[in-house]
Structure 1
Amino acid sequence: MKNTATQVGIIGAGPSGLTLALMLEKKGIKSVIIENRSREYVENRVRAGLLEHNTVAVYDSLGVSERLHKEGLVHHGCYINYNGESQRIDFEKLTQKQVTIYGQQEIVKDLIQACEAREIPILFEADATEITNLEAEKAVIHFTYKEEKQTLSCDFVGGCDGFHGIARKTLPKESYKEYKIEYPFSWLGILAYSKPNYEELIYAYHSEGFALASLRSQKVCRLYLQVANDDLIENWSDEKIWNELEHRLGMELNRGEIFEKSITPMRSFMIDNMQYGRLFLAGDSAHIVPPTGAKGLNLAVADIRNLANGLIAYYQSGNEDGLENYTKKCLSRVWRVQDFSNFMTYLCHKQSEEGSFESQLQKSKFDYLTISEAYQKTIAENYVGLPFEAFE
């Protein structure tokens, strides 16, 4: 059995783990990343595509944003529609900030390339099987790599391995409480080679279900439809998808080749403790938000910033306050993001029959949005991302 050592062991080579490694490397702190998937898989895994201004600033500070700024699309607002009526939320006017459209898989490619250039080890197709000694001086990650059982001894473990990973499963059950909502609808999402004929995201409530017009570039559209949880992708031909998108969005679309389509359940999930001994959770390993608010990746980066600051303070001065208060710092933002994501989900999706008490309340929210700049600003400042400092 091969035994190695480092300062911080990181499980997961998604945006969370890669960002943590780069933040630590900038301050001379060594880490090793263990990832159970192949490099090809993680670099092509389609996920989020909207970056808050906070997230862009983090990548600027790490020197990994050159391609992001070259290829990313800056958006200064979005539209929220209700049965054909449209209201623009002007981010620039209301917050003096903006968001950037840039696919998560592109971020991952940039981060992996930076880790390679800075000689941060990433072990792909390395399956972490156990984390031990969390209350001892050195934690140990047990994993299998190239058919050989190995261990990584480290001062701390960054659990960045997602909802199904080993990190959260390692926390003692009595150390946290779970909170979750399983929404009564799913998203049918497509990626299509299609030039978008809209300049900003469109969130559309429709009497037959929600639709979202998003994009990844000037050549690729990302679009979604609300469907039932028990619906099957086989029920949706390409033509049926395009027809329903145009119907709910109330506009013609440039119909291109659909090269990916899938159905994703909608859920909110979190735990109220993100650390135990030498293990610290970040991103999807600790919380999931419905994608309506475009917060998943951005919330993960906020977690990582807190964790990196705590680790840097520990190594530079021995100050453990940032590590001891890691969960507390993270949870204040997590709850805010959960609330906003839940609000956007309930605002935009069909949940009851037209004319019911619930649907009338839903329309009342939209009507208020059209007349209240304060209401628009609340949405705008949450959407572009509240400052890191607001939760410190």
Structure 2
Amino acid sequence: MEAPARAECIAVGKADARSGGMAGCVQAAGHPCARRGVDLRGAHSPGIRRRPLLPLVPASSSPSPGTIDARVDGERPRASVPVGVLTRHSHAYTYARLSVLADVPAEPAAMAIRSRGLAGLIPRGANTSRLYLQCPTDDTLAQWPDERIWSEPEACFGTPVPTGPIVDKPLVPLRSVGYRPKSYGRLYLLGDAAHIVPPMSAKGTNLALHDTDVFAHAVIRRIRESDSALLDEFVAA
């Protein structure tokens, strides 16, 4: 593929109120592009110093010549790829996770493996915590009243755990999904658009940041050195 003298990189992200938006992650990790003449367009991410950003480019817009469309917004970009181009690899786990959001401090903040599986208590602010409890896939919320939920971490960690109002407690089926190749024409898949992992400790965000860092350097090499080797490796990995 012939490398353009200058490329416009449109980074479209998935909104997430807690993380500031995946486009913000793309902006943060992709900053070498901005220094080297590549235009990253995305949502504002507080605390990142960079030049002013343009509004998000609609997914339906037609890219201009030389455009590289980097997408991290889940299933939306894959819907535009013809059937049969991408190969889907998936794994469904034999257990689920009860993900509890509670208005209590995480004391202790810890993770442990017990006879019934993983348990974790993670801070989500000074007085908010997320409690993760592994459970069978056929469990229902009716089997998890608040009293049972609060008995689990104390038994697991061997120390009393503060209890309080539970704001939310969804049962989350766990899966891992990956797509290959991670491109179609000028469209490149990053983050959740390329792979989905079980939610825990911002693994998805960190993978998206890693993808963006690798992708940014690959695009820079292609533009400046007419070398697509790194970009080809990213697509196939």
Fold conserved between structures, TM > 0.5? yes
| Structure 2: distance between partners of 1:259 and 1:158 | 35
1:216 paired with 2:149, answer: no
1:269 CA displacement = 1.2
Give yes or no for the alignment of 1:184 onto 2:94. Answer: yes
Render the CA deviation track for 1:330-388: whole Å, top value 9, x for unaligned.
Answer: x2xxxxxxxxxxxxxxxxxxxxxxxxxxxxxxxxxxxxxxxxxxxxxxxxxxxxxxxxx
Task: Return the offset for 1:292.
Answer: 5.7
Question: Measured at CA, do residues 28 and 256 of structure 1 come closer, stay the same or move farther in structure 2, by a change above 3 Å?
Answer: farther
Conserved? CA contact 1:210–1:248, under 8 Å = no
State yes or no: 1:120 paired with 2:53: yes
**Post-superposition shift, 1:223?**
0.9
User: Which residue type is aligned with residue 184 of structure 1?
Assistant: T
Q: Distance in 2 between matches of 1:293 and 1:178?
A: 25
Match of 1:376 in 2: none
CA contact 2:215–2:231 (8 Å) conserved in 1:
yes
**Structure 1 residue 233: Cα displacement:** 3.3
1:194 lines up with 2:200 in the alignment: no
Residue 26 of structure 2 is aligned to residue 17 of structure 1: no
Q: Could you say if the C-alpha distance between residues 180 and 273 of structure 1 is closer, same or farther in structure 2, counting changes exceeding 3 Å?
A: same
Matches within 5 A, 1:125-140: 128=59
Counterpart selection for 1:29 from 10, 32, 38? 38
Contact 2:111 2:121 in 1 (8 A): yes
CA distance in 2, matches of 1:230, 1:116: 47
Alpha-carbon offset, residue 189 of structure 1: 0.9
Is contact 1:283-1:297 (8 Å) kept?
Answer: yes
Task: Name the Cα RMSD after superposition.
Answer: 2.9
Q: Could you tell me how far apart the structure 1 residues matched to 2:165 and 2:146 are?
A: 9
Q: Kindly state the Cα deviation for residue 213 of structure 1 after the two structures are TM-superposed.
A: 2.2
Shift of 1:281: 0.6
Structure with a larger share of its residues in helix: 1
> For residues 31 and 202 of structure 1, what CA distance do their matches in structure 2 show?
37
Per-residue deviation, residues 181-228 of structure 1 (Å, max 9, x unmatched): 1112211112223223225x322222x443222223443222111233
For the 8 Å contact 1:242–1:255, the answer to whether it is kept is yes
Q: Secondary structure at the match of 2:163?
A: coil
Rounded to whole Å, the distance in 1 between the matches of 2:8 and 2:166 is 45
Give the AA of the match of 2:23. G
How many equivalent pairs are there?
A: 222
Q: Report how far residue 327 of structure 1 moved.
A: 2.1
Q: Is 1:204–1:249's contact at 8 Å kept on the other side of the alignment?
A: no
Give the whole-Å Cα distance in 2 for the aligned partners of 1:294 and 1:205.
22
Counterpart code for 2:68? F
Larger RCO, structures 1/2 (Cα 8 Å, 6+ apart): 2
The answer to whether the Cα contact below 8 Å between 1:204 and 1:210 also exists between their aligned partners in 2 is yes
Listed one character per residue, the Cα deviations across residues 122-174 of structure 1 (whole Å, up to 9, x for unaligned) are 33xx863xxxxxxxxxxxxx15xxxxxxx553611112112xx2222333443
Unpaired runs of 5+ residues, structure 1, are: 1-5, 36-110, 129-141, 144-150, 332-392
Contact 2:112-2:156 within 8 A present in 1 as well? no
Shift of 1:19: 2.9
Q: Which whole-Å CA distance do the structure 2 matches of 1:153 and 1:203 have between them?
A: 51
What is the distance in 2 between the residues matched to 1:217 and 1:293? Answer: 14
CA deviation vs aligned residue, 1:250-304 (integer Å, no higher than 9, x gap): 3310113322322211111112311122111111111122346863222221111
Residue deviations 1:17-50 (CA, integer Å, cap 9, x gap)? 32333423243321333x8xxxxxxxxxxxxxxx
Counterpart of 2:223 in structure 1 is: 315
CA apart distance, 1:114: 5.1
Identity among equivalent positions (%) equals 27
Tell me by how many angstroms 1:307 deviates: 0.8
- Listed as ranges, the matches of 1:184-333 within 5 Å are 184-199=94-109, 201-206=110-115, 208-291=116-199, 295-328=203-236, 331=237
C-alpha distance in 1 between matches for 2:23 and 2:105: 33
Q: What is the rounded CA distance, in whole Å, between the counterparts of 2:205 and 2:92 in structure 1?
A: 20
Q: Give me the TM-score of the superposition, normalised by structure 1.
A: 0.50
CA distance in structure 2 between the partners assigned to 1:264 and 1:203 by the alignment: 19
SS in 2 for 1:21: helix
State the alpha-carbon separation in 1 of the partners of residues 58 and 168 from structure 2: 28
Q: Give the TM-score taking structure 2 as reference length.
A: 0.78
Amino acid of the residue matched to residue 38 of structure 2?
I
| Preserved CA contact (<8 Å) 1:115 1:121 | no
Quote the Cα distance in structure 2 between the aligned partners of 1:209 and 1:316: 50
Q: Which moved more, 1:316-325 or 1:218-227?
A: 316-325
Once the two structures are overlaid, the 10-residue window that deviates more, 242-251 or 269-278, is 242-251
Q: What letter corresponds to residue 39 of structure 2 in structure 1?
A: K
* 3-state SS, counterpart of residue 170 of structure 1: coil
Long gaps (5+) in structure 2: 1-6, 16-20
Q: More displaced, 242-251 or 174-183?
A: 242-251
What is the Cα deviation at residue 16 of structure 1?
4.4
